[in-house]
């Protein structure tokens, strides 16, 4: 359904539309003419070569023959560039189980936990144990054969109690590492080559134990692709991309700037939570058949508040503290919270669906760490005081063109929503919208005309340069 935009929304409080300036990309075509000077260079020989290919007839007495044709140059053979064939993108069912297996070996059980870099002492101790690749393969193969005898019993236990089985598997895996003479499973991701003997031993330990667990259906809860275990090259690819690519980059980044990885992870997680919140609200607005103007309030991620984990909450029931979206009208937050409660009720009625995380408003409130505002929302998304005092005339003109989405706050309670949510634009503006619009400092006609004039001047300057 198209979104209604324009001055007809404002029913007697029309805002002149802001013209767009001419694009700075309008430039002259003189650059193309400069190319004409070299046009005859690709004909095999230049005009100078043709003139010098035979003697001048005026300098040879009695000469009646015309100058012979010049020998054309052979075109240079260019080898066609061989395009590297892109490897198909791997699915989570292929990569996830091995990633989890590596994290268990490395004891990286948190997103912010990074491995301790390998020291020269670790390498020296390893070299005393392993002197060749043959030793590596023989010892690992014997070790794996010694553990596979209990695979069936372990697989049966997984279906009963996953938590206990994880502990038993960890014991067997770390026993394998100890049996190889390693103090810990620690690939060298900062200075060692992936094909060094040290790193190859760690690679083979990881892949061999992973294949054994995969064949025992331990990773069934992750919908693991069982064919991965039969493709050693694929296992190596997944392993190296994760160990030396993903984890290796994080370790090097943390060494350069301590604390940066945790900050980036927290920021990424916050973005993801906010995006999920946006998607839920958009879907509910559509399901409840709200006016397009109301839907426009929720379309951008910047319209929604972010949150942070409450340190006092438990791991079994984490609670997130809502950060205040500075500049947003309180009535928008009221409507969004009503949508959240309705979404939770909808999810609880569906079999096998899990509700969203628990969010609460802290006292005192915490301001959001994200200050960027949405770019294309109705004017009443913003608190009137914030809009009138912190936005330029140009910004106010832009948002004013988007019309009004909601009535005043007292009509945004759940009991009143059904009265106005499907009114036509004209009815809504007459009943609620004009009163809301009167609270905002909408640019005057003279201000809009001045903006248009500056837009035209800026466009002319850009085209001249």
Query: In this predicted model, what pLDDT tens digit does every residue of 353-404 receive, in sequence order?
Result: 555 678 888 889 899 988 899 999 999 999 999 999 999 999 999 999 999 9
Summarize the confidence of residues 115-135 as an average pLDDT.
Answer: 76
Return d(Cα 48, Cα 36) in angstroms, integer.
18
CA distance 304 to 280: 11
Q: What per-residue confidence (pLDDT) applies to 304?
A: 94
Phi/psi of residue 223, each to 5°? Answer: 55, 45
For the segment 271-279, the average pLDDT, to the nearest whole number, is 93
Contact 223, 93 (CB under 8 A): yes
Name the residue among 303, 286, 267, 277 with its Cα closest to residue 356.
277
Choice between 165 and 116, residue whose per-residue pLDDT is larger: 116
Closest CA to 402 of 370, 437, 371: 437
Would you say 95 and 242 are in contact if contact means Cβ atoms under 8 Å apart? yes
CB atoms within 10 A of CB 70: 16
pLDDT exceeds cutoff 50 at 322: yes
Chain mean position to CA 226: 29
**pLDDT tens digits, 409-458:** 999 988 899 999 999 999 999 999 999 999 999 999 999 999 999 988 87
For residues 74 and 102, is the Cβ–Cβ distance under 8 A?
Answer: no
Confidence of residue 81 (pLDDT cuts 50, 70, 90): low
Task: Tally Cβ neighbours within 10 Å of residue 161.
Answer: 11
**Separation CA 243–CA 246 (nearest Å):** 6
pLDDT band at residue 464 under the 50/70/90 scheme? low
- Nearby residues of 54 by Cβ (< 8 Å), 6 or more positions away: 67, 68
SS3 for the chain, per residue?
Answer: CCCCCCHHHHCCCCCCCCCCCCCCCCCCCHHHHHHHHHHHHHCCCCHHHHHCCCCCHHHCCCCCCCCCCCCCCCCCCCCCCCCCCCCCCCCHHHHHHHHHHHHHHHCCCCCCCCCCCCCHHHHHHHHHHCCCHHHHHHHHHHHHHHHHHHHHHHHHHHHHCHHHHHHHHHHHHHHHHHHCCCCCCCCCCCCCCCCCHHHHHHHHHHHHHHHHHHHCCCCHHHCCCHHHHHCHHHHHHHHHHHHHHHHHHHHHHHHHCCCHHHHHHHHHHHHHHHHHHHHHHHHHHHHCCCCHHHHHCCCCHHHCCCEEECCCCCCCCCEEEEEECCCECHHHHHHHHHHHHHHHHHHHCCCCCCCCCEEECCCCCEECCCCCCCCCCCHHHECHHHHHHHCCHHHHHHHHCCCCCCCCHHHCCCCCHHHHCCCCHHHHHHHHHHHHHCCCCCCCHHHHHHHHHHHHHHHHHHHHC
How far apart, in Å, are the Cα atoms of 97 and each of 187, 304, 354, 363? 19, 34, 23, 41
* Alpha-carbon span 34 to 20, nearest angstrom: 32
428, 295 Cβ separation under 8 angstroms:
no
The residue with tokens 């069912």 is: 93
Q: Among residues 184, 186, 164, 166, which one has the least CA distance to residue 175?
A: 184
CA 427 to the chain's CA centroid: 41
Q: Which of 118-122, 164-168, 176-180, 247-251 has the lowest mean pLDDT?
A: 164-168
Q: Using 50, 70 and 90 to split pLDDT, how confident is the model at 8?
A: very low
Average pLDDT (231-235) is: 96
pLDDT at 114: 86
User: What confidence tier does 179 reach under pLDDT thresholds 50, 70, 90?
Assistant: confident
Confidence of residue 107 (pLDDT cuts 50, 70, 90): confident
Lowest mean pLDDT: which of 87-91, 234-238, 343-347?
A: 343-347
Mean pLDDT of the chain: 77
Task: Give the pLDDT confidence of 325-335 residue by residue, as tens digits.
Answer: 999 999 999 99
Q: Is the pLDDT of residue 339 over 80?
A: yes
Residues 204 and 137 sit within 8 Å (Cβ to Cβ): yes
Using 50, 70 and 90 to split pLDDT, how confident is the model at 405? very high
pLDDT at 153: 40
């Amino acid at each position: 359904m198209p979104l209604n935009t324009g001055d007809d929304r404002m029913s007697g409080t029309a805002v002149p539309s802001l013209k767009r300036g001419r694009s700075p990309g309008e430039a002259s075509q003189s650059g193309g003419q400069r190319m004409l000077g070299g046009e005859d260079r690709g004909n095999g020989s230049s005009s100078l070569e043709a003139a010098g290919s035979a003697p001048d007839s005026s300098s040879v007495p009695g000469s009646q023959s015309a100058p012979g044709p010049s020998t054309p140059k052979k075109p240079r053979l260019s080898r066609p560039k061989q395009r590297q064939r892109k490897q198909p993108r791997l699915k989570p069912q292929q990569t996830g189980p091995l990633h989890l297996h590596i994290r268990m070996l490395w004891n990286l059980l948190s997103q912010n936990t990074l491995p301790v870099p390998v020291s020269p002492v670790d390498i020296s101790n390893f070299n005393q144990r392993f002197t060749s690749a043959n030793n590596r393969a023989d010892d690992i193969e014997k070790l794996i054969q010694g553990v596979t005898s209990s695979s069936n019993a372990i697989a049966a236990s997984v279906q009963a109690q996953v938590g206990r089985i994880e502990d038993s598997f960890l014991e067997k895996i770390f026993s394998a590492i100890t049996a190889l003479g390693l103090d810990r499973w620690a690939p060298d991701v900062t200075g060692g080559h992936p094909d060094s003997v040290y790193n190859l031993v760690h690679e083979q330990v990881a892949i061999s134990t992973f294949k054994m667990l995969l064949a025992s259906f331990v990773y069934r809860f992750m919908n693991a692709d069982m064919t991965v275990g039969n493709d050693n090259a694929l296992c190596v690819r997944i392993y190296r991309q994760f160990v030396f690519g993903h984890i290796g980059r994080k370790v090097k980044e943390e060494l350069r700037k301590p604390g940066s990885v945790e900050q980036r992870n927290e920021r990424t997680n916050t973005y993801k939570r906010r995006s999920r919140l946006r998607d839920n609200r958009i879907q509910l607005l559509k399901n409840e058949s709200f006016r397009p103007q109301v839907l426009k309030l929720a379309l951008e991620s910047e319209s929604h508040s972010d949150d942070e984990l409450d340190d006092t909450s438990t791991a079994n029931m984490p609670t997130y503290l809502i950060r205040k979206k500075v500049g947003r009208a309180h009535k928008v937050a009221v409507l969004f919270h009503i949508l959240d409660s309705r979404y939770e009720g909808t999810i609880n009625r569906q079999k096998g669906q899990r509700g969203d995380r628990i969010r609460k408003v802290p006292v005192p409130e915490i301001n959001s760490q994200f200050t960027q505002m949405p770019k294309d929302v109705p004017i009443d998304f913003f608190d009137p005081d914030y809009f009138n005092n912190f936005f330029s005339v140009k910004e106010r003109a832009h948002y004013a063109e988007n019309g009004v989405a909601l009535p005043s706050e007292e009509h945004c309670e759940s009991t009143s929503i059904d009265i106005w949510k499907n009114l036509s634009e004209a009815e809504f503006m007459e009943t609620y919208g004009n009163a809301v619009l009167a609270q905002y400092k909408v640019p005057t006609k003279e201000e809009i005309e001045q903006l248009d004039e500056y837009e035209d001047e800026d466009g002319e300057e850009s085209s001249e340069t």
